[in-house]
Amino acid sequence: MKQKKRSRRILWGLLALVVLLLFWAASEHRLRPAYIGIARLENRIKGIDGISSASLAKVKGDARRHSRFIRSGFGLWGEAREAPEANWDDFVEITEIVPDAILEIRYYSTYNFVGTRIDGYRQPVALLTRAAAEALRAVSDELMAKGYRLKIYDAYRPQRAVDHFVRWAADIPDTLMKAYFYPDLDKSVLFDQLYIMEKSGHTRGSTVDLTLFDMATEKEVDMGGTFDWFGPESHPDFCGDPDAGIFNGDNHESPAGRSITPEQFANRMILREAMVRHGFKALDSEWWHFTLADEPYPDTYFTFPVHSLK
């Protein structure tokens, strides 16, 4: 009898160990490389070199779903559900689709208007919905032929990052980066003038902040103003008519009498016209900000952090 009880305890112990190992192995970041490896092997057997972007997205989605299924107890306790805003299956890293893009993810660094890394930016990568990334690839192809590369400052932005901005804007005494990003404004007006809002188009996954990089000079193109400058100088219609692409020098809205040159205005137009031509719409307050006109998630504000999807 004692021997039978001991054997039963050993059996249950082994079963518990197997379950723990399954849960350990079933995390998405462990399943994903295995699934990708299997997909590459299957392609190799078929005589196909590598794996397409579409197939890669499907494999990643399978790994994510199977991980949730295993961790829910193989469905014994119901289907493992995840809120739509936490699901990144339809997102890609920009550099997977636009390999020539240069990344300078400002909110991962401390060089931004807050002066610290922003919540939710775990790695210096740029994410977009696949639809937006494919449209951006068309922009890149056009501008590469003209001697430019795209430089990305920000793309998908999780809601927790927006919440960080809101907390910072409410902390009026914190003006660490004022001299660099809003020297002409009192911080107390940032909410009223809509520089900081509780929701951002970036959080829907199809908005990107970017500029041009000149391959001949190996420098950023001079746009006459820095990314995230709070002021009318950042408006696309500052000193010109962006719809007509005409410079007029009208700088009366600048509180400090700042201006931009015809060349700087023309540089802004090069970026704007290429983005609009390939399906993006511009924002009337920021020359660097564009949203895919036919964005796939117009009502979803995503919450997952910015991190590598590989």
Q: Is the pLDDT at 55 greater than 90, yes or no? A: no
CA distance 131 to 207: 11
Q: Tell me which of 93, 233, 286, 295 is the catalytic residue.
A: 286
pLDDT at 310: 84
CA dihedral 141, 111, 292, 219 (to 10 degrees): -20
Please indicate, yes or no, if residue 120 is contained in any of the structural domains.
Answer: yes
- 137 and 282 within one domain: yes
Domain boundary among 77, 112, 136: 77
Mean pLDDT of the residues in the chain: 87
- 127 and 32 within one domain: no
- 257 and 164 within one domain: yes
pLDDT digits (tens, 9 = 90+) for 131-175: 999 999 999 999 999 999 999 999 999 999 999 999 999 999 999
- 238 and 135 within one domain: yes
Please choose, from the candidates 270, 303, 271, the residue with its C-alpha nearest in 3D space to the C-alpha of residue 289: 271
CA distance 303 to 244: 38
Please choose, from the candidates 39, 21, 19, the residue with its C-alpha nearest in 3D space to the C-alpha of residue 30: 21
- 104 and 53 within one domain: no
Confidence of residue 45 (pLDDT cuts 50, 70, 90): confident
- 282 and 138 within one domain: yes
Domain boundary among 48, 77, 106: 77
pLDDT digits (tens, 9 = 90+) for 87-144: 999 999 999 999 999 999 999 999 999 999 999 999 999 999 999 999 999 999 999 9
- 161 and 58 within one domain: no
pLDDT digits (tens, 9 = 90+) for 239-259: 999 999 999 999 999 999 999
Enumerate residues 6+ apart whose C-beta is below 8 A from 165: 114, 118, 196
Mean pLDDT of 216-231: 98
Q: How far is CA 7 from CA 4, 16, 19, 143, in A?
A: 5, 14, 18, 71
Confidence of residue 83 (pLDDT cuts 50, 70, 90): confident
Report which of residues 136 and 41 the model is more confident about: 136
Name the residue range of residue 38's domain: 1-77
pLDDT at 76: 46
Structure tokens at 134: 């494919």
Domain boundary among 11, 42, 77: 77
The residues that bridge with 210 in the sheet, in sequence order, are 152
- Number of domains composing the chain: 2
pLDDT at 49: 72
Pair type for strands 148-154 and 219-220: unpaired
Please indicate, yes or no, if residue 83 is contained in any of the structural domains.
Answer: no
Q: Is the pLDDT at 79 greater than 90, yes or no? A: no
Q: Is the pLDDT at 77 greater than 50, yes or no? A: no
- Is residue 45 classed as helix, strand or coil in its secondary structure? helix
Q: What is the CATH number of the domain that holds 141?
A: 3.30.1380.10
Please indicate, yes or no, if residue 149 is contained in any of the structural domains.
Answer: yes
Decide if 82 is catalytic: no
259 C-beta neighbours (distance < 10 Å), count: 15
- 162 and 55 within one domain: no
- 154 and 22 within one domain: no
Amino acid at 241: D
Q: Considering just the CA atoms, what is the radius of gyration of the chain in Å? A: 24
Quote the DSSP letter at residue 306.
B
- Is residue 85 classed as helix, strand or coil in its secondary structure? helix
